[in-house]
Amino acid sequence: MLGKNVDNGKDEVFDPTTMIPKKLANQHLLIVGKSGAGKSQTTSGLLYELSKQDIPFLILDFQGEYISNVLSKANGDSFLQATNSVELDPSYGMDVNPLELSLSSNNGEKVSYMNNVYQVSGILKLIFGLGDIQHPV
């Protein structure tokens, strides 16, 4: 349970497999609260559930909470162990290629290159504020 809905008082439960209408779908999330309110614990719980569904995520961990044992699970696993995550240290360089084809979680084969084309063009549209005429180019 995430908490209570302030409008109707009902419990809010996180389910990463719930289907959301495409027009409402958004990959962004905001978690706010006072210091010590459990923002990091909430985030680690959400990411743990996403990892169980093989949904990828990226954390920019400026305070080192996710690579330390601060956010360990009840069984003693660290966050990295529990989510089968990998720490990337930018001081050693990071190989990020947005055009590299990812592997399908269904069969391990590379996904269609058109998926990457649409993702990269969508990112460029957002970054540069491209209009409907400029975007397809």
Mean pLDDT for 52-68 is 82
pLDDT confidence bin for 118, thresholds 50/70/90: confident
**Is residue 74 scored above 80 in pLDDT?**
no
Mean pLDDT for 19-38 is 77
User: What contacts 80, CB < 8 A, 6 or more positions away?
Assistant: 66, 67, 86, 87
How is residue 109 annotated by DSSP?
Answer: S
**DSSP code string of 9-23:** --EE---TT----GG
* Single-letter code of the amino acid located at 15: D
Pull the structure tokens for residue 7. 């409008």
Domain boundaries, the chain: 3-94, 97-137
pLDDT confidence bin for 20, thresholds 50/70/90: low
Is the distance from CB of 22 to CB of 11 less than 8 angstroms? no
**Cβ-count burial of 42 within 10 angstroms (0-12 exposed, 13-18 middle, 19+ buried)?**
middle
Mean pLDDT for 49-55 is 87
Q: Which of 119, 118, 101 is nearest to 110 (CA)?
A: 101
* Single-letter code of the amino acid located at 14: F
Instruction: Please state, rounded to an integer, the average pLDDT across all residues of the chain.
Output: 79
Question: What is the rounded distance in angstroms from the CA atom of residue 135 to the CA atom of residue 137?
Answer: 5
Mean pLDDT for 100-104 is 73
Task: Look at residue 104 and give its three-state secondary structure.
Answer: coil
Q: Which of 87, 88, 115 is nearest to 99 (CA)?
A: 115
State the pLDDT at residue 114.
82
* Consecutive H or E run containing 65: none
Q: pTM, whole model, 2 decimals?
A: 0.51
**Is residue 26 scored above 80 in pLDDT?**
no
Pull the structure tokens for residue 112. 């269609």
State the pLDDT at residue 137.
59
**Is residue 13 scored above 70 in pLDDT?**
yes
Mean pLDDT for 4-28 is 75
